[in-house]
């Protein structure tokens, strides 16, 4: 089986879809001739031409507005927003247009658009290159929101997103583009070739939208996480020798409640982990869902481990980042509760 890092896997997904479907186009800043600042579209313009892989002006609102029009005219566009931190100029087009065109036209028009955007911290990016704004998008009815945690899922989910007839916001945790990151910045970087999910088929395959995956089975507690935090949670559980069931949500909306319910009913304890800020964050939705679905199985209050409610800092990155210690402390707290 070939080895790919997440960038190669995302590139492969786009390559395959450009080849399979003449209606697929990609547009974004620096994505054409240059191949993207993270190289996720490397070589694609050379292969498919500048009418299919299109360099865009620096105008995220314009990019998203334009892909909506393209989708209405029968294309199946992928828009790359260079950093999730830059997506806000396009927010009106996403929240009040893209997400609602099918609804407001009673299905007469629809917009099969995929918006890819690198998110998350751990790269010394400060507050303009580190944000995790997924909760702003999961709150918008009509959007599907995805964040993969490994190359295999990234490729399969991106192909599913491109083929989906609804708009999808596809967050790429850039800290794990090149290798799984367990939250310890002092350890040497590990490549994806050391991880089983770094084995990625060359050919077409899909990973279904809307299904979480239990990446580690356990009996004592459930950790709900996604993106980079899947790897941090696994390391934290090992560190305190907890028999944790790690659930990688993969799709944030629509949420796979069945997998969550099944796991928490079994373990009776739950920790929710994400990089994004805590207050009104996506973790609040997860916590409320577990409370509603599993209250009589819970043996301890649910713990949330999130970014602090500050802007993402530059100098204090590892104090901000919800790393192994904080996740481990929450696991211990939940396990100790009577």
Partner 1 sequence: MSRKPTLHVPHTPARPGEDPDFSYVQISEAGAVERPEINTRVRDMVHLSEDMVRVLDEQHKGNGPWNPHLDEHDLQVGLRHMLLTRLFDERMVRMQRQGRISFYMQSLGEEAISVAAAQALAPSDMLFPHYRTQGLQIARGRNPVDLMCQCLSNSRDMCKGRQMPIMYHWARGNIFSVSGNLTVQYPHAVGWAMAAAIKGEDDVAAAWIGEGSTAEADFHHAMTFAAVYQAPVILNVINNQWAISTFQGFAGGERRTFAARGPGYGIASIRVDGNDFLAVYAVTRWAAERARRGHGPTLIEHVTYRVGAHSTSDDPSRYRPRDEAKAWPLGDPVERLKQHMIVEGMWSDERHDKLIDELRDYVTECWEEACSYGTMTEGPFLDRNELFEDVYKDMPKHLIEQRERLRALDADWDGE
Q: Which of 33, 34, 103, 279 binds partner 1 (CB under 8 A)?
A: 103
In the list 20, 47, 104, 211, the residue contacting partner 1 (rule: CB under 8 A) is 104
Out of 23, 51, 129, 297, pick the active-site residue: 129
Q: In the set 30, 42, 163, 166, which binds partner 1 (CB under 8 A)?
A: 166
Residue 284: burial class (beta carbons within 10 Å; 0-12, 13-18, 19+): middle
Q: Which of 165, 217, 219, 319 binds partner 1 (CB under 8 A)?
A: 165
CA distance 281 to 58: 29
Tell whether residue 72 is a contact of partner 1 (CB under 8 A). yes
Cβ proximity of 294 and 314 under 8 Å: no
Applying CB under 8 A, does 34 fall inside the site for partner 1?
Answer: no
Q: What residues from 291 to 320 belong to the interface with partner 1 (CB under 8 A)?
A: none
Tell me how far, at minimum, the Cβ of 107 lies from partner 1, in Å.
5
Kindly state the smallest distance separating residue 83's Cβ from partner 1, in Å: 19
Least distance CB 162 / partner 1 (angstroms)? 14
Distances in Å between the Cα of 331 and the Cα atoms of 149, 227, 234, 327, 335 are 21, 19, 11, 6, 6
Please choose, out of 93-101, 123-131, 239-247, 325-333, the segment that lies near partner 1 by the rule CB under 8 A. Answer: 93-101
| Residue found under tokens 């939208």 | 209
What DSSP letter does each residue of 210-248 carry, written as one string?
Answer: T--EEEE--SSEEEEE-THHHHHHHHHHHHTT--EEEEE
Q: If binding is defined by CB under 8 A, does position 2 make contact with partner 1?
A: no
In contact, 122 and 185? CB cutoff 8 Å: yes
Is residue 106 near partner 1 by the rule CB under 8 A? yes
> Which DSSP helix (H) or strand (E) runs through 171?
strand 168-173
Identified binder of partner 1 from the candidate list 21, 47, 105, 202, rule CB under 8 A:
105
255 binds partner 1 (CB under 8 A): yes
The question of whether 231 is a catalytic residue gets the answer no
Which residue of 13, 16, 25, 162 would you call a contact of partner 1, by CB under 8 A? 25
> Closer CB to partner 1, residue 88 or residue 205?
88
Find the length of the chain: 338
CA pair distance 268, 261, nearest whole angstrom: 10
Q: Tell me which residues in 168-227 interact with partner 1 (CB under 8 A).
A: 210
87 binds partner 1 (CB under 8 A): no
Q: Three-state DSSP class for 253?
A: strand
Residues contacting 97, CB < 8 A, separation 6+: 65, 68
Name 245's bridge partners.
Answer: 222
Among 52, 175, 197, 231, binds partner 1 (CB under 8 A): 52
Residue 40 near residue 116, CB atoms below 8 Å = yes
Nearest approach, Cβ of residue 122 and partner 1 (Å): 32
Residues lying near partner 1 in the complex (CB under 8 A) are found at 25, 51-52, 56-57, 59, 61-62, 64-75, 89, 92-93, 96-97, 101-110, 141-142, 144, 165-166, 210, 254-255, 257
């Amino acid at each position: 089986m070939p080895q790919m890092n997440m960038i190669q896997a995302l590139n492969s997904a786009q390559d395959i879809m450009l080849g399979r479907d003449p209606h697929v186009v990609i547009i974004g800043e620096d994505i054409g001739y240059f191949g993207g600042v993270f190289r996720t579209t490397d070589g694609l313009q050379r292969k498919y031409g500048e009418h299919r892989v299109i360099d865009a002006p620096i105008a995220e609102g314009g990019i998203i507005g334009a892909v909506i029009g393209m989708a209405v005219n029968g294309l199946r566009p992928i828009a790359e927003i260079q950093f999730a931190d830059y997506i806000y100029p396009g927010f009106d087009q996403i929240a009040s247009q893209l997400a609602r065109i099918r609804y407001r036209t009673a299905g007469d028009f629809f917009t099969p658009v995929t918006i890819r955007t690198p998110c998350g911290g751990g790269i010394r990016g400060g507050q303009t290159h580190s944000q995790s704004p997924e909760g702003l998008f999961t709150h918008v009815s009509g959007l599907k929101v995805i964040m993969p945690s490994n190359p295999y899922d990234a490729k399969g989910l991106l192909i599913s997103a491109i083929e989906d007839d609804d708009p999808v916001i596809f967050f790429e945790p850039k800290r794990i583009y090149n290798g799984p990151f367990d939250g310890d910045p002092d350890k040497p970087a590990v490549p994806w070739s050391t991880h089983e999910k770094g084995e990625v088929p060359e050919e077409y395959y899909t990973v279904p939208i809307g299904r979480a995956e239990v990446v580690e089975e356990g009996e004592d507690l459930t950790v709900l996480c996604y993106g980079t935090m899947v790897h941090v949670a696994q390391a934290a559980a090992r560190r305190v020798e907890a028999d944790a069931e790690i659930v990688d949500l993969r799709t944030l909306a629509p949420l796979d409640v069945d997998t969550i319910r099944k796991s928490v009913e079994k373990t009776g304890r739950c920790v929710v982990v994400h990089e994004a800020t805590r207050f009104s964050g996506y973790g609040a939705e997860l916590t409320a869902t577990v409370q509603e679905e599993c209250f009589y199985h819970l043996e301890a209050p649910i713990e949330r481990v999130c970014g602090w409610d500050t802007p993402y800092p530059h100098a204090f990155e590892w104090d901000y980042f919800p790393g192994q210690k904080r996740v481990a402390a929450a696991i211990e707290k939940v396990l100790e509760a009577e």
